[in-house]
Structure 1
């Protein structure tokens, strides 16, 4: 075993040696770019990152001379930056000499004539028991170094998945969660930019999943940024792999929760035996022998899994399962049935409850452990999917003033003048002093507390806020485009102003105003940034800021006559998920227009600009072709994925379009019925019911179907369902979130269920609404996040921006 591992390490070293010529060409490319094209600070940063990563890799693979030479170049650049000196004159000659030395050292190592140290070797021969069944996601831009890391982790017993960038890892996280993430945040051309991805990655994980950063950066600032961003630990490269493995084992063990299992069976001997089996498997067990007391025990014990006997006195297992699931707290509770009854109809009825497994007595102990562990794992993944469907309230990121200004100063110094900048939002009201005198100090302070609570409810996990004085507060938002900051700021003001504030039983309406200051190094200090935001706020009182923002939006949206589809337009995909199936198989297709800064503009903001005859039909054809090609070319989505596409009604009324759609399907690799679903809004369908019937019939002829969107805004849709061939209803958010007409919602879902129509709920605000919809029969949910179907999906798509943009503006598929 040890010799096999040694051979594996030697093969990896040979791969590193084989990569050196390509690395040498990369070095020459960077140096040529610096000398002849663009002698910039960013270029110097790229060169230093190259040297640092080469020094790391050469250390790991036992090339001390190469490590020393690369380290000298890294140190030379660091020292010049610390002294504030330029790279001209004598410094230029010295830098060139370092690069020449490094090129020679790489050539010697590639030729096999370099001095080599023995490979690092972990003397431990047996895997760690704690690593078994644990998956580690490794994110590292250097594949050769990552291969060595992966070898040690697998030898320890971990399962490893590798990603060369944070975005591909985030796409994978939508489907599965690891036991830990190991990430190098220092990517070429980006500095420590990947640290900013940490917030988005953490949002896709459970709260206890550890993230360990590993980097060649040893400066305190890098470590502080990593810890503030939410990493569990920060390790400095080159790594001691023995220490890394032990660190992971320790952290994962500390974060591993002992699952709680509640057994319900009137036979004490059976529950006693099952309890011993599950305790042996590392679970905490509560045995309940009086079924009528099960709900009280569940409320106190908070089980992660319930195992029920079917036939019991007073209450059978099916009745108990229904009662448990009626409690929103236990909606997603995994349930396993055990029974000696072999009746096929009974088994079918039990499985219809949405249980995780059914065991027929007698069964082996190993079977009980296996299905219990599988049920717990499936439910953990399910809860992650539910969390992404529902919009969870964020914890308020209020911090003390000292820390707020420290973070603000750091953002100022790390900002650039590109299209993506951090910003400071300044909130208050006009005539603040007059209101303070009118209310008096006590009531004014109470009003301020309500204002702060609303602000805290709106602040995201990657934003910080601080109140400066009564009814004056600031929010620090991360690097985004100016358009995004404008939209995000307006979202804050709408929330803060939407509902009246209550003072001594009387309502008081506030018109919250906003000032936004883009952060850049020219501001110099945090106080200057605050002054700039306050000045923007003062300008907003006269409407100047709003006019400016409107002009900017118009400027950034080009005339549609000049748009080139493949250049200016892109597609994004919004998953529609089932709580019963881990695989996402339904995708709503979203059309996005890139503005001058490259930001994706939702279709609802630019479709109205299409005024040329036939141009919308041309656009719809392009969308259909691109969406089908993207799904068909991906092996993970080709066989099962369903596309929901929202095209213009006038497009769907042209018979020639159906021939075109049929040809697109025939020439693709998609097979099966119903792979394309075309969406029509309820209001249009009711006002043009005959045309809708014709469209549905024409789509059925080419093995496609329709989905009625915003369903339930008009109760007349219910009797129309008997006359309309449709497979899906996409509910109006008014029904699913505000609960304005629960009776109509119940009638609509019941009618759809009778007709075999699948119902989709969208923009669910919280898990309690989801619980209620689940109990009423809704099985498909469209969340607030946008993603490609998987990591192999290559359409360009700014996932995080799109997710937050949709959340803030209520956009879905238009």
Structure 2
């Protein structure tokens, strides 16, 4: 195998070498556009990304001089952009010199040598590799193929992708044991980090992600680690080190399910215990069924297996008792019994049982069922988290927290009398090396509980990453903020995290940012408070840092009287999730403005500047055209995706605009009716009933659907549903909270749900407080829920959940 390996890699190197003239042309062409036609921040960013790709791939393929020239250009641009500095005068001359050096290096290849690491002496398949699948994501296809070829020769199954969205689509069909992903992509300098969260949501955090980049700065590595990356490797890639990192990362991430076996027959449980141990699981046997709840509380299993017929308590009763405990309300339960009664099967499945198996059963089948039950439950928990306000620990879900923070930042009529507190465990990289994937998961569980136990009244806490939490605190007074920080540090000192039975010698650092000093976007505010945390982490004596100076605010630089700045506009998508079928085919379309610091500003912050009705209609036209283009650009969404779009009253009042909608759909590749849903405010419809009826008919003639939003429970609105027969109805935002605090009875929904059913529409619930409120809405037949999760631009919105 070794004698063939260098020849295979040499062929890929020749293929890469053949692309160098084209890469040189791309750099030269982009630089010419910047110099002679239109200087723009987007163009400079594109030049930076070209240099970024070359800095990693050139050296990897054995051209270190080219790599050095590309890296010098990338780092110069990166430094100027991060500092908010322009490229005038001598800096423009320096930039031109670096571009010229890179072009010369690409054209003058020199006498470069094949990297010694390519020789790969002793390369052979490992036990890990023989059954492992690796996905490689890099926009440089030749480099991705090189990594895939090398890993395949080591025995791994490999697939390569040029974008994170392509990888996400494949993950919906095929499980991966490891994902290797570039840190930067043309769409955004740190898109790899943004994509980590999407992949973790899709896989339930079960697939480790290894980031690679030519960037060597500590900030990039820390961002990757906090986002959830399991490892980080640098370009140029050292292949011997790559193999070690791949095997090490996969080995440490292998899941070990904890299974509680409850059966009074000791011979059966002994056999089951051995089978599960051989499969790498952690079983715990309970032969005294009355001790089940106590043992479960101590063991904290991932799955519970129950026999049906046992002394003192049968399996059906025990499952009901388990479900009554909030800790185990979503616990996957598998029945393994010799009873084949059809009536019994129906009864136990009413309790939400994951599987009903009949003895005897083959060990392989049992293992498969247990893994599937655990996987499905993780999927359900993630779906519930997407659409609810709080987690089981009473902490806010991250999506809700960011939504609430954005509302605080966007409200210019109210003083920002709140602050962000960012708390994290230091030395995450060392902890990862010491305890691995499973150990870090246990530490994180303790961390979450410590935060929940120590949150004070009025604080809103969320978990933003592994061993990192953030809170909105109702004060901007320095003395109060520092006092609260000291209380938190003291709490972790008194009750430290524990690993392998020992107290963890890890330190805690805290960064604080008063919101009155924060920029107006969530990403920028979080970056600012994280910088304070970094200062505290690096400080030799002070574990708390408080922002003292105003952060540079974002700016909306377009003139409302000039053309709409479409180059700075982008779309985001908010899923409407079907909890029952796992599907997320419906998306609320949101518009964002990207300021000069790459902060994404929500519509509420800039639409108010569009005082002219024509400008608001121009924005609506851009949103419609861009949304349809996004929908039709991907084969999956083109077949099944549905977009919900807000339009201004100015657009709805214009009959020509309704014709424009029909023309956009007619000229698109979208097939089928009601793939575009126009949202109409119920109050507006109530005030303009005759014209609203005309609008609804015109939309249906254009093959669109209608969604009434902010629908209250009063009788006039129920009658509106009966007359207009909308395809979708969004409940008013305050209804779930009224259900949660018992000021509204679930029975009050019945007239509306009945009218909705008779009209053939579907109800959508938003702003759901918790899983208990979700359950009451579920019992009323509501299956569609919209939470607080918003998918970032740059990552394809057509996301399906695996399994």
Q: Please classify the TM superposition score into its range, dividing by the shorter chain length.
A: 0.5 to 0.7
Q: Equivalent residue for 2:422?
A: none
Tell which structure's C-alpha radius of gyration is larger.
Answer: 1
Q: Equivalent residue for 1:638?
A: 638
Gaps of 5+ in 1: 397-424, 430-449, 493-527, 537-547, 796-814
2: distance between equivalents of 1:587 and 1:20? 41
Contact 1:718 / 1:748 at 8 angstroms: preserved in 2? no
Task: Give matches, 1:164-563, under 5 Å.
Answer: 164=162, 180-185=178-183, 197=194, 211-216=209-214, 232-264=230-262, 271-288=269-286, 294-308=292-306, 324-338=322-336, 355-359=353-357, 363-391=361-389, 393=395, 457=461, 469-471=478-480, 475-476=512-513, 482-484=519-521, 532-533=549-550, 558-559=560-561
1:713 Cα shift? 5.5
Q: Equivalent residue for 1:16?
A: 16
Q: Equivalent residue for 2:749?
A: 748
1:574 Cα shift? 1.2
Task: Tell me: CA distance 1:228–1:759, structure 2 relative to 1, closer, same or farther (3 Å).
Answer: closer
1: distance between equivalents of 2:48 and 2:724? 65
Contact 1:171 / 1:788 at 8 angstroms: preserved in 2? no
Alpha-carbon displacement from aligned partner over 1:118-176 (angstroms, at most 9, x marks no partner):
9433634334337735555x454543333222333445555556555678878999999
Say which is worse superposed, 599-608 or 582-591, in terms of deviation: 599-608
Q: Equivalent residue for 2:128?
A: 129
Q: Equivalent residue for 1:67?
A: 64
1: distance between equivalents of 2:52 and 2:662? 55
Q: Equivalent residue for 1:500?
A: none
2: distance between equivalents of 1:20 and 1:464? 46
Q: Equivalent residue for 2:783?
A: 779
Contact 1:175 / 1:381 at 8 angstroms: preserved in 2? no
Number of matched residues? 679
Contact 1:69 / 1:105 at 8 angstroms: preserved in 2? no
Alignment equivalent of 1:763, drawn from 740, 761, 767: 767
Q: Equivalent residue for 2:411?
A: none
1: distance between equivalents of 2:44 and 2:566? 34
Task: Tell me: CA distance 1:564–1:44, structure 2 relative to 1, closer, same or farther (3 Å).
Answer: closer
Alpha-carbon displacement from aligned partner over 1:563-592 (angstroms, at most 9, x marks no partner):
559667654321111334444211123355
Alpha-carbon displacement from aligned partner over 1:584-628 (angstroms, at most 9, x marks no partner):
211123355678988554269637956658x87787676555544
2: distance between equivalents of 1:248 and 1:649? 55
1: distance between equivalents of 2:374 and 2:281? 11
Contact 1:175 / 1:583 at 8 angstroms: preserved in 2? no
SS at match of 1:149: helix
Q: Equivalent residue for 1:589?
A: 589
Alignment partner of 1:573 is 2:573: yes
Say which is worse superposed, 697-706 or 333-342, in terms of deviation: 697-706
Q: Equivalent residue for 2:505?
A: none
SS at match of 1:576: strand
Task: Tell me: CA distance 1:196–1:761, structure 2 relative to 1, closer, same or farther (3 Å).
Answer: same
Gaps of 5+ in 2: 80-88, 399-414, 420-453, 483-510, 530-544
1:259 Cα shift? 0.9
1: distance between equivalents of 2:54 and 2:102? 12
Alignment equivalent of 1:147, drawn from 129, 145, 148: 145
Say which is worse superposed, 116-125 or 637-646, in terms of deviation: 116-125
Alpha-carbon displacement from aligned partner over 1:89-123 (angstroms, at most 9, x marks no partner):
999999799658624542878xxxx8787943363
Task: Tell me: CA distance 1:119–1:244, structure 2 relative to 1, closer, same or farther (3 Å).
Answer: closer
1: distance between equivalents of 2:41 and 2:587? 42
Q: How does the TM-score come out when normalised to structure 2? A: 0.64
Alpha-carbon displacement from aligned partner over 1:659-690 (angstroms, at most 9, x marks no partner):
87677666655455654444344445566778
Contact 2:746 / 2:777 at 8 angstroms: preserved in 1? no
SS at match of 1:379: helix
Task: Tell me: CA distance 1:228–1:694, structure 2 relative to 1, closer, same or farther (3 Å).
Answer: closer
Task: Tell me: CA distance 1:565–1:13, structure 2 relative to 1, closer, same or farther (3 Å).
Answer: closer
1:277 Cα shift? 3.1
Task: Tell me: CA distance 1:757–1:230, structure 2 relative to 1, closer, same or farther (3 Å).
Answer: closer
Contact 1:697 / 1:725 at 8 angstroms: preserved in 2? no
Alpha-carbon displacement from aligned partner over 1:319-371 (angstroms, at most 9, x marks no partner):
65565445443344334455667777876776676554454555433222222
1: distance between equivalents of 2:590 and 2:692? 22
1:304 Cα shift? 1.6
Task: Tell me: CA distance 1:175–1:654, structure 2 relative to 1, closer, same or farther (3 Å).
Answer: farther
Alpha-carbon displacement from aligned partner over 1:278-326 (angstroms, at most 9, x marks no partner):
3332222244567666555444432222345567787776665565445
1:256 Cα shift? 3.8
Task: Tell me: CA distance 1:612–1:257, structure 2 relative to 1, closer, same or farther (3 Å).
Answer: closer
2: distance between equivalents of 1:485 and 1:118? 43
Contact 2:273 / 2:285 at 8 angstroms: preserved in 1? yes
Alpha-carbon displacement from aligned partner over 1:173-232 (angstroms, at most 9, x marks no partner):
999996555444467898x85697599679858678755444445577776776677765
Task: Tell me: CA distance 1:219–1:751, structure 2 relative to 1, closer, same or farther (3 Å).
Answer: closer
Task: Tell me: CA distance 1:662–1:30, structure 2 relative to 1, closer, same or farther (3 Å).
Answer: closer
2: distance between equivalents of 1:76 and 1:742? 62
Q: Equivalent residue for 1:732?
A: 732
1: distance between equivalents of 2:370 and 2:376? 10
SS at match of 2:576: strand
Contact 1:52 / 1:71 at 8 angstroms: preserved in 2? no
Task: Tell me: CA distance 1:263–1:737, structure 2 relative to 1, closer, same or farther (3 Å).
Answer: farther
Give RMSD over aligned pairs: 6.1
Contact 1:590 / 1:603 at 8 angstroms: preserved in 2? no
Contact 1:577 / 1:782 at 8 angstroms: preserved in 2? yes
SS at match of 1:637: helix
Q: How does the TM-score come out when normalised to structure 1? A: 0.63
2: distance between equivalents of 1:263 and 1:274? 8
2: distance between equivalents of 1:170 and 1:132? 21
Contact 1:584 / 1:789 at 8 angstroms: preserved in 2? no
2: distance between equivalents of 1:683 and 1:792? 33
